[in-house]
Structure 1
Amino acid sequence: MFQKIEKIENYGKFSNQCIGSPNWGGALRKVNVVYAPNGSGKTSLSVMFRSLKEDSELVNKKKSFLSEKSPNIRLRLEGGRPIKFSNGSWDHTVENIVIFDNFYIEDNIYLITLKEEFGRLYFFELQKKEEIQKLAENLDLKKRERVKLSEKRKNFRRNANQAGLKYEVDKRYITMTQKGLELDRCIKQMEQQRNEITIQQRDLFREKINLYLSCFSDDIEIVSLTLIKGKILYSIKINGQIINTTDYNRYSLKYSLSEGDKNALSLSFFLAKLDMIPNLKDFFIVIDDPFTSFDQSRKLATINKLVSLSQKINQMLLLTHDQYFARDFYKKCDQEKLSLQLIGTINGSVFQEYDIEDATMTGITKDIKVLNEYLKKGAQNQTEMREIARCIRPSIEGIIRLKFYQYVNQTEWLGDFIKKIKNSTSDSPFYRLKNSLDEICEINDFSKVYHHSNPSFMEEPISNTELKNYVKRTLKLIMEKI
């Protein structure tokens, strides 16, 4: 749906973001994951797309404090069609956008808001759109016919009265009356049929909500849904206790639900709503922070449901402040995908492509990758080479710690391991490393010079040739000898 973000200026945290820098060219893919620490402009992005669908004024309200100028945004749809925000408004709107964010949660946690997004139909009726439209057309014809017949009977009575005749016994009038009663019955039946479709689809919506809830929680269930003036009130069962619509004042959901439960409930409402939209494959979905610290027990379920959703829609923008959630979703998703990061600078937030898997590597995995990457790509300067040398010692240390985890503790380091190898006897698990002891000691002597525990490690000169030799020896030691 959206081919590219070309420009975001003077809006929210974005001061002068002309996309097309070496960091990122602005092109979007089917699934776009944006890791954005709090305060970097994540919410501004979701509000921008909400504005594109609903209200240009939302962008004006988030005008950047970093500039006196008005917001200036340029996007491009598939096929090359541009969309611009300038002079306080969008030049086009885009209808097929649905957004999950804090605003959605606020509007849909204690009741479900029914906005007029799909004409006169509720979103849960869309699957029956053709049947409803046909029924509505026939109902309209019958009502028009009844109005005409009523007018005809009225004229007949007036003419009969003027002529002094008794219209009540006139066969023509009796026939019209019978036809009127038949029309009344037919209209009532059709209205009842229309109402039954609403009830049927409403109950299907409830079933879908509960299906999602069962994945997020084992003690929450929606018991019933009630339609009232553009909103849905619900009765809910929490830990076996049913709270009805009429009990809301007595049992406040605000205090009955944990923050995690509220998130699970609103996300279930959202996902169930999407399931009720028949042309979901045409929609652009924005998901802003579906996972918080309150949802640790629901992390995998949330990822699975969002991955499943990504397969049904046209395009997804996932925004999150949790880089590990971003990583796990990105790894699980098998669609055409892009990983970005929003970085806050003194001149405003900027996008850059982001290797989320590399960024979230820790410990020995990251150190060994640094060594392998160095052999493939080399190093640019002395600072980079010192950092590579620093990774040698913890790589060896980490492998020994993993392989001999039963025989070492967290307060022991490579020097302690070397002593264990030196002092080992044939019945010791460390004895098999004695043949590699000299190699381990030589590599350790080289690398410890560049360790952060050496206060002058940044002043130590380093040779690229020597470093490459020790990196190769380290990797060979790890792969073949330890």
Structure 2
Amino acid sequence: MIRKIKKIENVGRFRLYAGGYPDEVLFKKLTVIYGSNGSGKTTLAAICRSMTSGDPGGMVKRKSAVQYLPNSTAPTTEDTSNQAAVTPKPPLSLCGGDRFTALRNETKTVLLQHWDVLDKKSTEAKLIRFSDEVIHEQKKKVEDCLKTEETAVNEFLLEYQQRVNDYLQKFCADFQLQNLRINPVRLTLMSDIHQIRTITYDITAKNPLPTSNPINAEFLSEGDRSALALAFFLTKLDYAIEDSSSPATRPTLVFDDPVTSFDSHRRDVTIEIIRDLLFNDAISQAIVLSHDAHILNDLLISVNKKQEKDDIKTVTTAEFEIKINDIEKTSSLVDKDIVKIAGGRYKACVSALEDYRRGGTDDIGVKANVLVYIRQIIESNLKDRFSELIELKLPVINSRMVGNIIDVVQNESGVKSISGTVTKKEDLITELRQINQLVSSAAHIKGRNDEAKENLMDLAEKTTVLTLHKLIQQTYDIINNKLPLLVYNKKSNPKPTAVCMSTQTD
């Protein structure tokens, strides 16, 4: 666990950084660090990894994908609270070679004890007929060992694959790993990626038959690649946690912009995973670096809400910014209130819509962003308005998509219009579904492959500037005038039941 960084010399943009009093940098159990692009976030992440003994690695951004980097030789740093030499954990060993070496040596010993090496002759009167028996016996031992090792490896790979797929399911990915195996040349893990689809085999459509088709990893979107890399990383982290003998040896988690290509749902899931790792003491510390202050702010809010709800204070937090000196081209670490940098994600969405209303453009990318902002505003208002109901009906966070929330509100008898108002619940639900169908289409196809981009262009052509202006006004009317007229009376729902997650990714 890192507690203090005293000095960094000649490492990237950190040419001569001293964190002494009164600008002393004290890390806490959760440390969030904001830095703009090019400020030195990745450099600082590498420094943090080098200072944590027993660290399974970290997450870094490389060529539009998140990759796992094992702990390795890192830049020189000085840390007054971590004087011990760094001893990185060895890579995960699927099967060791010690048993085979022992068998080989045992065979050699048995043969040589009846052989005169100097005279190259048998010490007995007859030929070493027993040598065939010895070799056969040792061969059987080797074969049995191989079978045992092969079984153990296969069982481990199946378990490893299932853990990765469990994380992919949390991220609502429409693909899974199959046939995870070891590359015989590179001795690394490799697998097939299958896209999950559901087909029906009878005319009544009552018997869905899940099926899968292999896909090329090159066709995965940036967000899907990031989700896959993060799933592998979290699985490896799980094993590192299980191997920790005590809380004192728990690993430190270092994230460098891991969720920038994620949609709001995957961001929320990742934030919840990091938060739960901290509260369960599965990790000793989490250091999260990002150029998106909103992500860091959302993580802090999630942690603080849990501490307030459970009336506990077990996760201490620290907030920093990587400050750039444009004249000297150097960077330093300073205390910073992240919420002041973020300004609130909701506020940023509203501001973006206001900017578009003042100067609408026909640019396809801008239109897609506006549609996404509308969806985020509606999602935020629904979650705030019906937070208790959502926690009751959708206890699993990866089921809290806009479409599912609308379903819950529609089906809940305790949600009613205020008496005497003109707003009808069923009319508002219909209106919300119409808007969500349009804006969720843009949210899902944004940033996908060439075919998806063509669909996005078609959608942008159909959605004119005037249509977007009307859609923005309709959104404001819903959140300001209509949604507040719906109230939830939880007394009408004495028997809570969980709603299954929809198969649609809306």
- C-alpha displacement at 1:272, in angstroms? 0.8
Output the CA distance in 2 between the equivalents of 1:214 and 1:123: 24
Specify the alignment match of 1:266 in structure 2. Answer: 229
Q: Deviations over 1:36-88 (max 9, x none)?
A: 122222122123345x37xxxxxxxxxxxxxxxxxxxxxxx8xxxxxxxxxxx
- C-alpha displacement at 1:4, in angstroms? 0.6
**Contact preservation (8 Å) 1:34, 1:339:** yes
SS at match of 1:4: coil
1:284 to 244, 252, 257: 252
Q: Deviations over 1:190-219 (max 9, x none)?
A: 232123222222221111110111011241
Q: Deviations over 1:264-289 (max 9, x none)?
A: 11111111111122345432221101
Specify the alignment match of 2:6 in structure 1. Answer: 6
- C-alpha displacement at 1:152, in angstroms? 4.1
Relative distance call for 1:286 and 1:107 in structure 2 (3 A) is closer
Relative distance call for 1:104 and 1:196 in structure 2 (3 A) is farther
SS at match of 2:140: helix
**Contact preservation (8 Å) 2:168, 2:227:** yes
1:253 to 217, 239, 244: 217
**Contact preservation (8 Å) 1:36, 1:341:** yes
SS at match of 2:287: strand
Specify the alignment match of 2:195 in structure 1. Answer: 238
Question: Is 2:19 the counterpart of 1:19?
Answer: yes
SS at match of 2:191: strand
Specify the alignment match of 2:270 in structure 1. Answer: 302
Specify the alignment match of 1:357 in structure 2. Answer: 339
- C-alpha displacement at 1:189, in angstroms? 0.8
Q: Deviations over 1:449-472 (max 9, x none)?
A: xxxxxxxxxxxxxxxxxxxxxxxx
Output the CA distance in 2 between the equivalents of 1:114 and 1:226: 24
Relative distance call for 1:114 and 1:144 in structure 2 (3 A) is farther
**Contact preservation (8 Å) 2:61, 2:67:** no
Q: Deviations over 1:402-430 (max 9, x none)?
A: xxxxxxxxxxxxxxxxxxxxxxxxx9xxx
Question: Which structure 2 residue ranges, 5 or more long, are not aligned?
Answer: 74-87, 198-211, 308-314, 348-419, 421-506
Question: How many residues align structurally?
Answer: 300
Specify the code of the residue in structure 1 equivalent to 2:265.
S
- C-alpha displacement at 1:139, in angstroms? 4.8
Q: Deviations over 1:1-59 (max 9, x none)?
A: 2221112244323344221354x411111221112122222122123345x37xxxxxx
**Contact preservation (8 Å) 1:124, 1:276:** no
Specify the code of the residue in structure 2 equivalent to 1:242.
N
Q: Percent identity over the alignment? A: 22
Output the CA distance in 2 between the equivalents of 1:219 and 1:140: 44
Output the CA distance in 1 between the equivalents of 2:71 and 2:294: 34
- C-alpha displacement at 1:220, in angstroms? 1.3
Relative distance call for 1:114 and 1:185 in structure 2 (3 A) is farther
Q: CA RMSD in A?
A: 3.8
Q: Is the deviation greater in 262-271 or in 339-348?
A: 339-348
**Contact preservation (8 Å) 1:113, 1:230:** no
Q: Deviations over 1:134-187 (max 9, x none)?
A: xx6555443322112223455599645x98x5537xxxx44x543442222122
Relative distance call for 1:329 and 1:221 in structure 2 (3 A) is same
Specify the alignment match of 2:163 in structure 1. Answer: 208
Question: Which structure 1 residue ranges, 5 or more long, are not aligned?
Answer: 54-76, 78-93, 126-131, 244-250, 366-426, 428-482
Relative distance call for 1:142 and 1:298 in structure 2 (3 A) is same
1:192 to 147, 159, 172: 147
Q: Show the 5 A alignment for 1:328-339.
A: 328-333=298-303, 335-339=315-319
Output the CA distance in 2 between the equivalents of 1:343 and 1:302: 26
Q: Deviations over 1:346-392 (max 9, x none)?
A: 34323222222354455999xxxxxxxxxxxxxxxxxxxxxxxxxxx
- C-alpha displacement at 1:293, in angstroms? 4.3
Specify the code of the residue in structure 2 equivalent to 1:285.
L
Output the CA distance in 2 between the equivalents of 1:153 and 1:362: 82
SS at match of 1:25: coil
Specify the code of the residue in structure 1 equivalent to 2:55.
N
Relative distance call for 1:155 and 1:352 in structure 2 (3 A) is same
Output the CA distance in 1 between the equivalents of 2:216 and 2:139: 44
Relative distance call for 1:202 and 1:31 in structure 2 (3 A) is same
Specify the code of the residue in structure 2 equivalent to 1:353.
D
